[in-house]
Chains A and B, each alone.
Chain A
Amino acid sequence: METAPKLGRDVPPKKDKLQAKRKKPRERKNPESQRSLSGAQDPFPGPAPVPVDVVQKFCRIDKSKKLPRCRSKTRNRLKVAETEEEETSVTAARSELLLAEEPGFLEGEDGEDTAKILQADIVEAVDIASAAKHFDLNLRQFGPYRVNYSRTGRHLAFGGRRGHVAALDWVTKKLMCEINVMEAVRDIRFLHSEALLAVAQNRWLYIYDNQGIELHCIRRCDRVTRLEFLPFHFLLATASETGFLTYLDVSVGKIVAALNARAGRLDVMTQNPYNAVIHLGHSNGTVSLWSPAVKEPLVKILCHRGGVRAVAVDSTGTYMATSGLDHQLKIFDLRGTYQPLRARTLPQGAGHLAFSQRGLLAAGMGDVVNIWAGHGKASLPSLEQPYLTHRLSGPVHGLQFCPFEDVLGLGHSGGITSMLVPGSAEPNFDGLESNPYRSRKQRQEWEVKALLEKVPAELICLDPRALAEVDVISLEQKKKERIERLGYDPEAKTPFQPKPKQKGRSSTASLVKRKRKVMDKEHRDKVRQSLEQQQQQQEQQQQQQHKQEKAKPMRARPSALDRFVR
């Protein structure tokens, strides 16, 4: 067994990089530029080569789409946009160099099943700092716990069913606050920073600060069962027993939307980190996707025969894992098809699911936690064989992977367990976005910036890149209105006007003839098109008729009374 967190499993191939290096200097053989004052030559002239596949990762323009014919001016603009994109993606690819850390991994000796490796073994093998990240909090008194890590992965909040709420800096084990709310705690969640804490209590939703002081009691959100925080929109989504999904804007303290899911009690909720869509699991085996801007679910997917017990979405928004009462664990594709990609029957259905940043899937089944891994980042986890398993002292009640640390936090009836899962987290963090080591001042700075960059709630939709698209429907509508207003189409194609020809060939008759010719050609094209359309329609009708005929019960002989049949 070999364990070494933060060591490369999928190191990017360096081969093509080398090849590129070899190629480029040959291309740039410019004798003049190579000469310098001292007569020495630069052995690697020109800019350093960039691996093509990394550049490709940052390119966003889909060049495969064909554009309609455009004017030269438009073409210039397009070219400028394309070159800009290329330049920026090259600089971005160059800055990949700064991502020095590599993900950890766990490899069994040949034939050894990594699932059989115990936490104790891992702790023994890793360095002291990493070993300190595995710990157990024995809290048997206040019942099963829900856990939540802050966005930086530095702080951990947990709330026991019997009112125990605490927050701590789990790396240094420094307790921030510990209170008993004297009420059932259903869920607990950090808001945008570790300074604010939302707790779903028996009756209402409360917000505490990191001292444990109650800041708000939000009575509009009552009997909340699950909480989700959308960090870029500053929205706290709450699912309640009454069947309402409520969005609370924590930056202004307003309820943005309260949507009635019409599916009874809601107690399964997760967010899609890619597009901030909320996924709700229902008792009729469906999962519905919600946005605060739309009153109805964006998508409804039938996932299980029984009720849905847990839902999780991976960080790239590509896969959704669901588990139901039918003891099935399924992974769905969220890229438009919503079809199950993998399915597996578990002996005891998974009650809780969680995806890690690098796409590991953890499932809590009773007092056992199974973790499945795929190959490489954001790949589909294979459900064949678990990557790791761990047995707890009580049934699992909440689980979450810690961001930027190879740790899985587990809340169960026996307390809290922090479990080491090599290779689960993203090794490199963005210091400006979520810095685990930030100071108080940096946090405040970041808070201001984040608030300035807050995304409006109504922009939440399935495709987060929809903002980069033109609203075609209103565009068409406006065009139509303009034409009506002006009485003519200003963008219409001007009718063909033959140019006069030199040397006496420009008689009126010939001009008319040429004009006629073009007109006829256009007319013919139109007729041809319409004929094709007609044909297609006819074919469709025939097909439908065929279907209907097939659907109709065959009668032996057509009756004379058939004509009265409607």
Chain B
Amino acid sequence: MSVKMRRTVMERESIKSFWKQSVPLMERTGSGEKLVLADLLEPVKTSSSLSLATVKKQLNRVKSKKTVELPLHKEEIERIHREVAFNKTSQVLSKWDPIVLKNRQAKQLVFPLEKEQSAFAPIEHVLSGWTARTPLEQEVFNLLHKNKQPVTDPLLTPMEKASLKAMSLEEAKMRRAELQRARALQSYYEARARREKKIKSKRYHKIVKKEKAKRALKAFEQLRKVNPAAALEELKKIEKARMMERMSLKHQNSGKWAKSKAIMAKYDLEARQAMQEQLAKNKELTQKLQVASESEEEERGAEETEELLVPDVVNEVQMNPDGPNPWMLRSCTRDIKEAEAHEDPEELPDPVAHEVSESEGDERPVAEEEILLKEVEERRSLRRRSELSQDAEPVGSQETKDSSSQEVLSELRALSQKFKKNHQSRKPKASSVSTGHQVQREEPALEEEEPLLLQRSKRVQTVEELEELEKEECSQNQEFLRPGLKGQQLERNPNNLPNAPKEKKKKEQMIDLQNLLSTKSPSVKSLAVPTTLEEMDDEEERDQKQMIKEAFAGDDVIRDFLKEKRESMEASKPKDVDLTLPGWGEWGGMGLKPSTKKRRRFLIKAPEGPPRKDKNLPNVIINEKRNIHAAAHQVQVLPYPFTHHSQFERTIQTPIGSTWNTQRAFQKLTTPKVVTKPGHIIKPIKPEDVGYRSSSRSDLSVMQRNPKRLSASHKKQLKKNSVD
């Protein structure tokens, strides 16, 4: 229909336009002029000048121009309006959703609504967020700034800070004095260094060098005692120096100076000496360091003799681990305490000896010193080893508990055998008479010692004995007992000694316990003493039991109880329902019973209830009946959000009464959900109350005021929106 209408409209339009064009013609006809064909074709002609296409275009344009649509039905318009309004309103109202939710979940609501009280904040925070606005405030701030008064954080002026930091006068004085002293010392030191640098004497420098070396040695010794790790580091440094030396040609007599000296050496003794020194130094530096380890000891055994011939500083620093014991040199009578302080004489370094020897050798020429040192060391080592070998054998034969000590001993034994050979081979070599004499002098002492040791090894079987023996030694044998030896002894059973008193104690305890066990038993009986009845012997007790049994023989309590229990169980069981009708579909009469088949068919079995609580408790009957009076007080309907009773039960587990809670907790638990101030009007909530702008509300009202004035196009757009 609409199509048809549209067509008619179009036709009308075209006619209109036609008439418009033909007006002049009509006028002309009206005036009585004759209508000529040319007149009729005139508009075509004129237009033809513009071309026919333009006409067509115009025609198309006319055609394409749509007609005005018919207005919608009133109901439809209203519906659309409603829809749009609803969407808009719901959108506006949805802003309130979080507030509503919050209020619903809030523990307490206070009416009339008030703005939230600002929480307590420290003054610094308040100040930091605050700016001066009024002129007065600004004035004040300006003043503050001028005086460098900090406005916010530390609240202290720089002056105040400085004064806080400043020290007292005394302190300042002390500090100044200190600084002065340090400066003075520095200047002295500098002056001295300058002076020393100017000294040209070679001899002086040599002495200085030597001193330095000695000091280094001492320091190293100290370090070794105090901090072995650091000492190792030092050793490594030395090792590195050796490597460098081996790489370089510094002391190889290949330098310019060395070559010149080599030429001079034929004629000049000094030059020769200098060269030798050079070489010696090279040798010294390239000397391989021996790290003392037990595994290497055996290998070293053979080489040792040669090694000992090189008494250079580096080697001394490194120290052979089984160096001679300095204490051995001293007189035999010695404080035991001192010996005890040095627990391991085997590995004890001998700084004192070295120092002594070196201090002696200070004035002598180097070569002499070397020889002397060599001799002394040889002697020491020899003596020590021989002693060890003699020492070790009896110890080895003895059975010692300590496995580690045994290992050490076996090693020592091996060593001693080697050294015996060495010793024998070396003996004739011993050059100086004095040394030989010394050795000879030593030997009888050792021989004296030997039987003593052997004896001891046999005797000392138990720890207690050992202790006793020690005491004896302390008192009697002090004269000839060497502290070193004693130290060894101590070392031989290092574990035993501290344990000894313990073991003894243990033994004593054992005995005590046994004593106690034998005497203790009546302690239980003692409680029965005060009772009126006398203590009963076992027989009497048995008699009494018998009597009790006899007394209660008549009433069998247990059987009665079991019977009662069975009855109660039967009573509490749900009963089956029998619906059989006797005589129905069967013969009836006296003495006839319905068949089992039938009975089975009409028997309704009761569902088996939950197992009884006292199922596994033979001596207990627990009543399964429900306490209906108490049940009346229990909750019977689950409140809204809960779907299972266990959930709800969990929320009512904690008591809220003041009997079970502290006053504070009680008040907190029983706060009312809504609090109102008496005499105050409770106004509806406003957007300002919760921090919203009021504009949203106004545009809603605007829309609702004139909903009908919306144009169709606007409406469509809205509809589109609403669909979206």
Contacts and interface: CB of A to CB of B under 8 A. Distances in A.
Contact of B623 (A35, A60, A297, A366): A297
Contact residues on A (Cβ < 8 Å of other chain), bracket:
35 or more
Contacts of B633: 456, 458-459, 467
Contacts of B619: 301-303, 338-339
Nearest to A82: B650
B649 A88 contact: no
Interface of A: 35-37, 39, 60-62, 65, 67-68, 70-71, 73-74, 76-78, 80-82, 84-85, 87-88, 91-92, 94-95, 113, 115-116, 284-286, 291, 293-294, 296-306, 325-327, 336-339, 345-348, 365-368, 370, 384-386, 389, 391, 433, 453, 456, 458-461, 466-475, 478, 491, 566
Contacts of A286: 561
14 contacts: A35-B122, A84-B669, A85-B653, A284-B555, A293-B630, A294-B627, A297-B621, A299-B621, A300-B621, A338-B617, A339-B617, A348-B532, A467-B633, A468-B649
Given A296-B623, A302-B620, A370-B527, A472 B662 contact: no
Nearest to A482: B637
Nearest to A283: B555
B703 to A, nearest CB: 34
A337 B615 CA distance: 11
Contacts of A65: 646, 650
Contact of B526 (A115, A337, A347): A115
Contacts of A325: 548, 551-552
B592 interface: no
B558 A302 contact: yes
Contacts of B105: 76
Interface string B628-642: 111111111110011
B620 A348 contact: no
A389 B623 CA distance: 39
Interface of B: 105, 122-124, 154-155, 523-524, 526-528, 530-533, 535-536, 541, 544, 548, 551-552, 555, 557-558, 560-561, 564, 596, 613, 617, 619-623, 625-638, 641-655, 657, 659, 661-662, 664-665, 668-669
B627 A461 contact: yes
Contacts of B524: 384-385
A365 B532 CA distance: 8
Nearest to A284: B557
B611 to A, nearest CB: 12
A272 B551 CA distance: 31
A67 B531 contact: no
Given A301-B619, A468-B653, A67 B644 contact: yes
B653 A68 contact: no
The 9 closest A-B pairs by CB, nearest first: A458-B629, A471-B634, A470-B645, A293-B629, A81-B651, A88-B665, A302-B619, A300-B621, A73-B641
B85 to A, nearest CB: 30
Contacts of B634: 466-467, 469-471
B555 A68 contact: no
Contacts of B645: 469-470, 472, 475
A71 B631 contact: no
Nearest to A340: B619
A294 B155 CA distance: 76
A345 B545 CA distance: 10
B651 A78 contact: yes
A298 B613 CA distance: 12
Nearest to A459: B630
A305 B552 contact: yes
A478 B635 CA distance: 12
B527 A385 contact: yes
Contact of B635 (A95, A367, A456, A470): A470
A33 to B, nearest CB: 9
B654 A478 contact: no
A471 B625 contact: no
A62 B627 CA distance: 24
Contacts of A461: 627, 630
Given A61-B653, A284-B557, A468-B653, A37 B637 contact: no
Contacts of A326: 548, 552
Nearest to A566: B596
Given A284-B561, A294-B627, A467-B633, 18 more contacts: A61-B654, A67-B650, A68-B644, A70-B647, A74-B647, A82-B650, A95-B662, A291-B627, A306-B557, A337-B617, A348-B531, A385-B527, A386-B527, A460-B630, A470-B645, A471-B635, A475-B638, A475-B645
B532 A366 contact: yes
A293 B527 contact: no
A86 to B, nearest CB: 10
Nearest to B634: A471
A348 B632 CA distance: 47
Nearest to B666: A88
A87 B622 contact: no
A453 B659 contact: yes
A540 to B, nearest CB: 10
Contacts of A36: 122
Nearest to B640: A73
Contacts of A473: 626, 631
Nearest to B551: A306
B661 A91 contact: yes
Contact of B531 (A73, A284, A305, A365): A365
Question: Which residue, A62, A77, A566, has most C-beta atoms of chain B within 10 A?
Answer: A77
Contacts of A37: 122-124, 155
Contacts of A88: 654, 661-662, 665, 668-669
Contacts of B154: 39
A347 B531 contact: yes
Contact of B643 (A76, A327, A370, A491): A491
B606 to A, nearest CB: 16
Contacts of B535: 347
Question: Which residue, A60, A82, A302, has most C-beta atoms of chain B within 10 A?
Answer: A302
Contacts of B648: 470
B528 A347 contact: yes
Contacts of A304: 557
Contacts of A339: 617, 619
A478 to B, nearest CB: 6
Contact of A35 (B124, B617, B628, B659): B124
B557 A305 contact: yes
B564 A300 contact: yes
A515 B633 CA distance: 46
B526 A302 contact: no
A87 B528 CA distance: 52
A123 to B, nearest CB: 18
A458 B627 CA distance: 8
Nearest to A90: B665
Contacts of A115: 526-527
Question: Which residue, A74, A385, A456, has most C-beta atoms of chain B within 10 A?
Answer: A74
Contacts of B548: 305-306, 325-327
A298 B557 contact: no
B649 A469 contact: yes
A366 B528 CA distance: 13
Contact of A68 (B531, B613, B643, B669): B643
B643 A71 contact: yes
A384 B541 CA distance: 18
A297 B625 CA distance: 10
Given A37-B155, A368-B531, A77 B641 contact: yes
Question: Which residue, A61, A87, A347, A466, has most C-beta atoms of chain B within 10 A?
Answer: A347
B636 A92 contact: no
Contacts of B596: 566
Contacts of A474: 631, 636
Contacts of A336: 613
B665 A87 contact: yes
Nearest to A297: B623
A91 B664 CA distance: 8
A285 B653 CA distance: 38
Given A74-B647, A458-B629, A85 B654 contact: yes
